[in-house]
Amino acid sequence: MRREHHAARLTRSRPGAAPGPALLAVLLAVVLLTLTAVPSGADGEPTVTSSTGGEAALSSGAGGDAYDAKGGGGFREAAARAVRAHEKAREKVERLRKSDARRAKVDAAERRRKAIRSRLWNLLRAAERGAGDPVAVDASGRDGHCPVRRRGHSLRHRTGGSWTAPTRGYWLSAGYAARGTRWAHRHTGQDFAVPTRTPVRAVGPGTVRATTCGDGFGNQVVVRHRDGYFTQYAHLSRIDVRVGDRVSPGTRLGLSGATGNVTGPHLHFEVRITPYIGSAVAPLPWLRRKDVRLTK
């Protein structure tokens, strides 16, 4: 798969450039390869295509919990539609798998789901880069000087284990899609009210995709899970992981806090289809599907 890596690097290094016909052909081949060759069980990140849509029209956004209110325009609605379409497509795949449908039928439904996700991914990546989403701009957190753990400090990583709540001793405050003065639109995650410096833990196995600091989400960590979904943990007082770290259920990602756009200490937790803002799904039903029961 050297060509795939090469193509991905080419497009990443020239985000604003229009791809030439040869590159488009390579990309198309890569997309087709990716769609047909993804092993079942693992859900790889889609090939990033350079997109010209959306960037110029966006105002710069800052805001964490207020993000969903800013940088308005058509792409937010397009993203919301794609999120709903993706969740319907995922439910269809699960239904077909449960009913022992023909392999070809399941594969076709899964290809459709992944195509929706790839389109959403590219839409949000282009738009959020323009809007200043720290995950899209600098997922490593280096530019934001994140207070990450020292090198050499080892994570307690174990394999196996069941999915877990992102923190303990909480009460559930603002829920997903809640309306409130902090969000001119809708709340994109679930808030867990906890005192500052409460351990915040990975809900399931995965890899740290982003650590960013200094915007409305304060200090945040984004974890990529094997099923293709991402979880986000925001407003932390400290980050204990680095991009690329492998985590298991219960691995400590950092400590809760009140950084960013908040009125008090809490953990803001999101489940997303992509690493980017604008692709969140309802987090509590998602956790329930992983057999995580939360106390109210």
Which residues sit at the interface with Zn ion, rule CB under 5 A? 65, 189, 191, 268
Cβ of residue 177: shortest distance to Zn ion, in angstroms? 11
User: Which is closer to Zn ion, CB of 90 or CB of 268?
Assistant: 268
Residues 6+ apart with CB under 8 A from 134: 141, 144, 210, 212, 213, 214, 215, 217, 220
Give the whole-angstrom CA distance, residue 4 versus residue 27: 8
Distance in Å, CB of 257 to Zn ion, minimum:
13
CB 134 within 8 A of CB 144: yes
Residue with the two structure tokens 């709540």: 165
- Minimum Å gap between C-beta 223 and Zn ion is 17
Nearer to Zn ion by Cβ, of 65 and 133: the residue is 65
d(CA 226, CA 43): 6
Helix (H) or strand (E) holding 262: none
Is 188 within 8 Å of 270 (Cβ atoms)? yes
Q: d(Cα 207, Cα 200) in Å, to the nearest integer?
A: 15
Q: Which is nearer to Zn ion, 122 or 188 (CB)?
A: 188
Residues 6+ apart with CB under 8 A from 135: 128, 209, 210, 212, 222, 275, 276, 277
Residue 73 or 175 having the CB closest to Zn ion:
175
We find the least distance from the C-beta atom of residue 291 to Zn ion, in angstroms, to be 24
Min. distance of Cβ 240 from Zn ion in angstroms? 21
- CB closer to Zn ion, 16 vs 264: 264
CB of 215 to Zn ion, least distance (A): 14
- Pick 114 or 235: Cβ nearer Zn ion: 235
Question: Residue number with the shortest CB distance to Zn ion?
Answer: 268
Backbone φ, ψ for residue 207 (5° rounding): -130, 140
> Which two structure tokens, joined as six digits, stand for 125?
């990546």
